[in-house]
Structure 1
Amino acid sequence: MLLRTRILLLFALATLLVAASVALPAWLVLRDGQSRSTALRAELQAAQLPEAVERATASLVAGLRRSAADEALAGALATGDESGVRQRLAALRLLIGLEGSAGRMDLVGPQGQLQAAAPAAEEPLASGVTLLLRDMASEQINISFENGPERSLLLVASIRLAQGGLLSASIAAEDVLGRIARFLRADLLMRDRNGNPLFASDPALWDRAGSVNAGDIVSFEDRLFRLEAAALTNSAGAAVAELLVLTDATAEVQARRLLLLMAGGLLVIAAGATCLALYRVIRDALDPLTELARALQAVAQGDIFASAAIGPRKDEVGAIGQALEALRSNTLTLDRLETRTRLSALRERALIEREIARLTGVLEGPARQEILGLLEGENATIGPAFARLSGHVVQQHGALADLLAERTRDLALVRQALDERIQLNRMREELDVARRLQLSSVPTTFPQRRSFRLHATMVPAKEVGGDFCDFVMLDEHRLALLIGDASGKGVGAAIFIAMARSLLRAAMGRGASPAEALAQCNDTLAADNPTLMFATAVVAVLDCRTGVMTYANAGHNAPRRRGAGQEGMLAMPDGIALGVMDGFIYEDRVLRLDPGDMLLFFTDGVTEAMGPGDALFGDDRLAAITADTSLQEPSQLLDAVARAVAGFADGAPQADDMTMLALHWHGPEPESPATAARAEEHAT
């Protein structure tokens, strides 16, 4: 390929690279502008949507405030007249115009229980009643979207009563969304979390509801619309639906397309003009180079008198012609230097032969005669002679080195063994410290309350284990119980389960329910889990005043319960192990303990303990021990289980960590006068 062709191709490639380097930043700038514009539109919509919802629900909120201030309802609540409360709630529902199947009013007590509903219902309208009671101030209004029956969506307004409870009213979300669409002057499309359409301000949008996404540009009635999305959340903060607002973007899209077309045309014209100009310059510059190439080929073939027929020039071609003339003169000089080099090499060869012959004087016998024979005659070989001489010298030094190595080898082995012994002792000391630290985290002092007795124990399978158990008094009357088991054993499992224990304790200390604590811990562990470890856990909160226990499960063994004349496993909600997948929502269960109930929390190291013939200890053996009514104290129950497992193993090594926590419920403790006074003061 000719040089000029390669230069043109190289220039074409460079032109493409320059065009790309110009187009890419321009595209990035344009994309950044679009992103900023999208963000601004999203912020504007986020500011307009709450205002639209507030205006659309103004009449509902006003009616709810009047109902909250209703003296007849307050009187019925004060006297504890449940029938009167229900009748007044039904009258207020009709008074503020909540008709139809979606219109409903609820009255929730300070403890989150549903006191009355019109019409009658079993569950409160608001899914996050606990959060609302905790976070809302008196007479504060909260508006949320809640899932209704048969895939319907309700708009629920709740107000915090001065008496401490909640008053909620609901209407169909479709009734409000129509007014929101008119306020925003835009079409609306609402879908549930699975993408199924729930509402459309224009019936023509129903057919396209499942194929559009937030941020898409869609064509509708000869216009281009951009979809802006907003999540509709319930009172618990969970997303229940997605609201899409159709914004007209016809002018913006057409302007951007015209700008891109003009920029591309200008780039093509500029590149073509530059290529044409470059071709003319290359043609004028490369013709003299052809003549210079012919002259250089002649010089390369031995004709040192060849020259190029070009005139004097002050550019690169002229410099090449001058270099050609200098090459011819230097060729003669190089020939003379080569002659001198050959003579010098002969003199150095003779000197080396004399020195090698002198060094052979230190050798004896056949070795000396062999080297001298290589140096004699016209075909003397200096290289092999020097190699043989070096070999004999190296052999003599090698014999001395072998003798020295033999004397020092035993010393090196002793030193290596000593270093390994020191390192092994250091590792044992570190593992012993880790074991003592982990065992020190297991509670050894247990609260002595009139309402319950508590005891716990842990036996790691290795120096350090992957189990934990813990309990903490959240306040004067609430006891939190925690137990967990990490995948694997050893230091890694101990570190992972320690993180899980700290996260659960922190969440419970902030007031989270058992399910919320497990969800927060799971999200934190799953976000950064390169080792793919996981842990199971059970978290429970016991109210010592009522015996009501709220608990949640993250894939752990179900605790065992011994009641009046029966023993069995607790009914546990479903839940995945911690650290497997973020975003999982755990479920709280509520259980009221009877006086005399015994609860046993344990890890799988108990039921999966192996005996002769690889048999497992199993749930049946554990159930038989738990059902023994003679074991009244938690410590007695744990000692009995430990002895039974040890006897079943029959001396076999422990395969997994074994952790147990036992609670004996005696009955609700009486409320002290000081506590009653504080409760009355708080209610006032």
Structure 2
Amino acid sequence: MEYYEGSFDSIVGDLVAGNRVPAVISDEEYGWIISISYPYKSESGELLGYVCADISMDSVVRDRQNYLLSTLLILAGVTAVFAVLYYVLFNYVFVRPIKRMSGAAAEFVSGGRDGEFSSSIATLSVRSRDELRLLCDSLKRMELNIREYVNNLREVTAEKERIGAELDVARHIQSSMLPCIFPAFPERREFDIYATMTPAKEVGGDFYDFFMVDERHLAIVMADVSGKGVPAALFMVIGKTLIKDHTTPGRDLGEVFGEVNRLLCESNSEGLFITAFEGVLDLGTGEFRFVNAGHEMPFIGRKNTFRAEKIRPGFVLAGMEEMRYRAGVLQLNEGDKLFEYTDGVTEATDAGNGLYGMERLERVLCAHGADTPQEICEAVKRDIDAFVKDAPQFDDITMLCLEFRQKTPGIKEEEQ
């Protein structure tokens, strides 16, 4: 039997012609029914009538709807069951191990902040043999590496603290070796002197010194040892001691530096050298004898105006054996000043690597030409700090200022 789904009116033409029509399933005016029409004819073929039957489809439609609904409910239930099983399985296989590893890592880090790491990661166990197992093994290796790194770091930190304490002691020892009590000679009215050193590290290679050679002669020393840190500081101690020990009354300063150079070369396994300037002022005459071993030119202040003295430097100390040094002489008048320094002053750099320079130093000295030696040194240090600002200090900053106030009274003309 053929079926035709649609309006019954669409096949009326076939009925009038006496043709057989298929079953009609309709949901329009008469509801869900099956209408069957079959022509009844005589033997001669004359149409006598139709045999028609209508069968209600409501029960069929309800059964179909119930079937579809049941199928959907079953599918939804099966899907929900599978979803729950998937969630439980996923949580058990993936989420729980990851949470355990995350918690163990957090506990490990928290214990590290308190100074003692826990063994939470080491006790982790993952039964799977997939990427989670690899991740767990990686965490365990990471824990071992971190423990080893932290232990090494603690040892290094303890060693640095020990070395820092020793360097701090060395810095105090070094500072105590340099004259640091001012006024240095309060009983002497002939001169005023002030010096200061700011090391770039815990201990530096720069040094200064001043001492009375005898009652009439004042010696000043300014020097810079190559390198920084403990080796330079130790070499500084040797150099300072040798210069002072060999500066004796009446001895030529060129000979002093020649002997000091020879002795330094004998004990210079580190290959260090010293640039140094030494001068001896005759307090009775103002005569200033000096020797320069590769050091910066001093500034001489006359009538409150400073100018760099054109002095040809000799070779550095401890650079080459059997070097000869020639002494020079300057005349200081009453009221004149001398400013000596190391290259850490003129080579101080700002954040843009600009140099402080000789010209700026000269301007500051001239601006404070009438001040005392201490005020002059402090003014220069303030100007350097203002220039470099927050830039790190790479070299020691050392300076010394001497003012010749008056000649020693009571010296006869022939003695001068």
TM-score, normalised with respect to structure 2 = 0.61
Tell me which residue corresponds to 2:94.
none
Tell me which residue corresponds to 1:458.
197
Tell me which residue corresponds to 1:540.
279
Amino acid at match of 2:180: T
Q: How far apart, in 2, do the equivalents of 1:514 and 1:469 lie?
A: 17
Q: How far apart, in 1, do the equivalents of 2:385 and 2:304 lie?
A: 28
Tell me which residue corresponds to 1:592.
331
Q: Any idea what the Cα deviations from partners look like across 1:250-276, whole Å, max 9, x if unmatched?
A: xxxxxxxxxxxxxxxxxxxxxxxxxxx
Partner of residue 491 from structure 1, selected from 230, 233, 253:
230
Q: How far apart, in 2, do the equivalents of 1:411 and 1:538 lie?
A: 54
Q: Does 1:447 align with 2:185?
A: yes
Q: Does 1:556 align with 2:295?
A: yes
Amino acid at match of 2:191: F
SS at match of 1:614: coil
SS at match of 1:456: strand
Tell me which residue corresponds to 1:606.
345
Q: Does 1:582 align with 2:311?
A: no
CA contact (8 A) 2:351 2:390 kept: no
Give % identity. 37
Q: How far apart, in 2, do the equivalents of 1:480 and 1:630 lie?
A: 22
Q: Does 1:422 align with 2:158?
A: yes
Pick the structure with more helix per residue.
Answer: 1
Q: How far apart, in 1, do the equivalents of 2:197 and 2:174 lie?
A: 10
Q: How far apart, in 1, do the equivalents of 2:354 and 2:149 lie?
A: 47
Q: How far apart, in 2, do the equivalents of 1:428 and 1:591 lie?
A: 44
Report the structure number with the largest CA radius of gyration: 2
Asked which structure has the greater RCO (Cα within 8 Å, sep 6+), the reply is 2
Q: How far apart, in 1, do the equivalents of 2:158 and 2:339 lie?
A: 44
Which segments of 5 or more consecutive residues in structure 2 lack a partner in the other structure? 1-136
- Within-5 A mapping of 1:213-228: none
Pairwise CA distance, 1:631: 3.8
Q: Any idea what the Cα deviations from partners look like across 1:570-609, whole Å, max 9, x if unmatched?
A: 2324310001111111111111211111110100000000
- Within-5 A mapping of 1:151-166: none
Pairwise CA distance, 1:614: 1.2
In the alignment of these two chains, the number of paired residues is 272
CA contact (8 A) 1:442 1:457 kept: no
CA contact (8 A) 2:200 2:397 kept: yes
Q: Aligned-residue CA RMSD in angstroms?
A: 2.5
Pairwise CA distance, 1:627: 1.5
Q: Does 1:476 align with 2:215?
A: yes
Q: How far apart, in 1, do the equivalents of 2:167 and 2:296 lie?
A: 29
Pairwise CA distance, 1:629: 4.9
Tell me which residue corresponds to 1:68.
none
- Within-5 A mapping of 1:327-476: 409=144, 415-445=151-181, 446-448=184-186, 449-476=188-215
Q: Any idea what the Cα deviations from partners look like across 1:297-324, whole Å, max 9, x if unmatched?
A: xxxxxxxxxxxxxxxxxxxxxxxxxxxx
Tell me which residue corresponds to 2:35.
none
Pairwise CA distance, 1:650: 1.6
SS at match of 1:542: strand
Pairwise CA distance, 1:524: 1.1
Q: How far apart, in 2, do the equivalents of 1:605 and 1:505 lie?
A: 23
Q: Any idea what the Cα deviations from partners look like across 1:641-670, whole Å, max 9, x if unmatched?
A: 000000000211111000011001112020
Tell me which residue corresponds to 1:352.
none
Q: Any idea what the Cα deviations from partners look like across 1:315-351, whole Å, max 9, x if unmatched?
A: xxxxxxxxxxxxxxxxxxxxxxxxxxxxxxxxxxxxx
Tell me which residue corresponds to 2:15.
none
CA contact (8 A) 2:295 2:313 kept: no
SS at match of 2:162: helix
